[in-house]
Amino acid sequence: MKKKPVEKIPLLVICGPTGSGKSSLALDLAQRHPLEIVSADSRQIYRMMDIGTAKPSVAEQALVPHHMIDLIDPDQEFSVAAFVDQARPLIEQIHQRGRLPCVVGGTGLYIRALLGGLADLPTGDETLRKNLHTRELEQGSGTLHRELQQLDPEAAVAIHPNNLIRTVRALEVCLLTGHKFSAIKARHDFIDCSYRVVKIAYDYPREVLYRRIDLRTGKMLEAGLVAEVEMLVRRYGSDLKALQTLGYREVLEHLAGEYDAGTMCARIQTKTRQYAKKQLTWFRKEPDMIWVDSNHKSDRVSGYIDHLICH
C-alpha cells in the first residue's frame, strides 16, 4: 500500500533587507489573519539590545504573539543550529493552535536553514576561539585572515578581512575538522522542506530603501541608542562580541573618541545601506520569492495567505 504523504505545515515567511518594513507588514497582516510571529533575526535574540536591533516594542508584541526574541544575554553564544532547534517546535505548536506561523526577519542563513537544513558543523570551542582572538590582538589586525588565506583561500575571499567574527569561525571549523570551511559549506545538502511556504519580500527602489534606512538610523539615535551601548559597556565591557555588530560598533567607536556624533550617524547609515545591499543579493538568489513593490500591496499578500491557509 502506498504511504500517504505527510501533510506539510503552512508557513509564511516575510524577509528582505533591513529597514524594508518586514515587522510592519507582519503586524498589519496579523489584524486580518490569526498568525504568530517567529523572529528570524540574529540580534533580536539578545536581551537588553532593543534599539539597535529594531526589536518590536512591548506594545507591538502585545498585539500579536512574538517568539525567538530576548532568548539569551548578550555575552552568551547562539548558533544557526540553535535557532533551527528552537524555531521548528515553535512553528509546529503555532500550527497546532490553529494559527499561521509567520517567520519574520532578515537573517537569510537562519531562514534557509529553517526551511531546509545545513551540513553538520562543529559547535564552537570556547578555548580555541579565545586563543584565536588573543593572537589577533597580540600579533596585529589581519593576522587570522592571512592564516585563513593559507588554510582556505576560498573562504578568505568570501570573508572581509575586517570581519573578525566570521574569520574566527571559519578558522575554528578548519582547525576542528581538518577540512576547509568552504568545502563543508559547499556540501550543504538541503533536505526536503517540511513546510508549505510562501516567501514575501519588499522590493523598494534602491533610493527609497536607503532613505528609509537613513530615517530609521536617526530615530534609533533619538530613541537612545548611545545610552543603550553605554549600558551594555558598563555591564559587559567594550570587548563584548555582540557590540561588534552593525550600529553598536559605530557607537562604540564614537564613545572611544574616534569621531563625533554626526560622523557616527553617517557611518551607521552608510554601513546599514551596504548591509541591506548584501541582504538583497542573498534574497534575490532564494527560489520562489514573491517580491512586493510597496506597502500598498498588503491586500495582495493577504491573497497569498488565504491560498496558503486554504490549500
Report pTM.
Answer: 0.76
Share of the chain above pLDDT 90, in %: 63
Pairwise CA distance, residues 301 & 4, whole Å:
31
For 286, the 3-state DSSP assignment is coil
pLDDT reading at 190 higher than 80: no
Residue found by looking up cell 576542528 in the block: 176
Residue found by looking up cell 506594545 in the block: 59
Q: What is the pLDDT of residue 126?
A: 77
* H or E element that contains 39: strand 35-39
Which CATH code of 1.10.1670.10, 3.20.20.70, 3.40.50.300, 3.65.10.10 fits the domain covering 9-118+190-310? Answer: 3.40.50.300
Q: What is the pLDDT of residue 129?
A: 86
Nearest alpha-carbon partner for 27 in 42, 39, 43: 39
pLDDT reading at 189 higher than 60: no
Pairwise CA distance, residues 44 & 290, whole Å:
25
Nearest alpha-carbon partner for 78 in 91, 87, 89: 87
* H or E element that contains 14: strand 9-15
* H or E element that contains 66: strand 66-67
CATH class of 126-186: mainly alpha
Domain boundaries defined on the chain: 9-118+190-310, 126-186
